[in-house]
Amino acid sequence: MRQKHGWRADVPAVPSLLHNQPDRIPAAVQARSRQARQRYARVIVVYGDCGTGGQLDRLLQAEGVERIAGPHCYEMFANGRFERLMTEALGTFFLTDYLVGSFEPLAIKRLGLDRHPELAQDYFANYTRVVYLAQRDEPGLRAAARAAADRLGLPLTVEQVGYGALELRLVEVMER
């Protein structure tokens, strides 16, 4: 998106595994945003609430740091389709380009399924399908999404979404 919109911006990240411990997200984002404020006049957090229960927004408000709107990346990428997708099947396991590319270390190894594949039945018993919210239309990513769904024993639906509302919301914030 930086090149597409001609933005001169750095995108320092926090570890994605924090999604497994959302109570740690605010402190990590605070530390990263404080580092960024030492170098930049403006800091924008491109991160959803992601299960912090509003803690992230309260912290950022106290720090005077902007955040793009949105509860989590699935809602942002799906750009108005998320509610429909959840209504169609409450037991939906979502994948993004990042999760497709990191499925083995984040899902399989982190959950111990590489050592105990029988646990997949317990972990994913209530899921009914996998929805891949594809940001890029790449055959390799689609194949990896298919492999992930097959590994979970679930049917796959692919929704080509691009960057959806994430891009729209970021453009809105950047233009202020």
Instruction: Give tens-digit pLDDT for 72-104.
Output: 989 999 988 999 999 999 999 999 999 999 999
Report in angstroms the alpha-carbon separations of 145 from 25, 75, 99, 154, 162. Answer: 27, 19, 9, 11, 16
Q: Round to whole Å and give the CA distance between 162 and 95.
A: 13
3-class SS of residue 44: strand
Nearest residue to 45 (alpha-carbon basis) of 170, 158, 156: 170
Q: Round to whole Å and give the CA distance between 163 and 97.
A: 10
Percent of the chain whose pLDDT exceeds 70: 100
The yes-or-no verdict on residue 9 having pLDDT over 90 is: no
Q: Round to whole Å and give the CA distance between 72 and 97.
A: 15
Per domain, the residue ranges of the chain are 2-67, 80-160
| Residue range 32-61, pLDDT digits in tens | 999 999 998 889 999 889 999 999 999 999
To the nearest 10°, report the CA torsion of 97, 102, 107, 110.
-150
35, two tokens: 């580092």
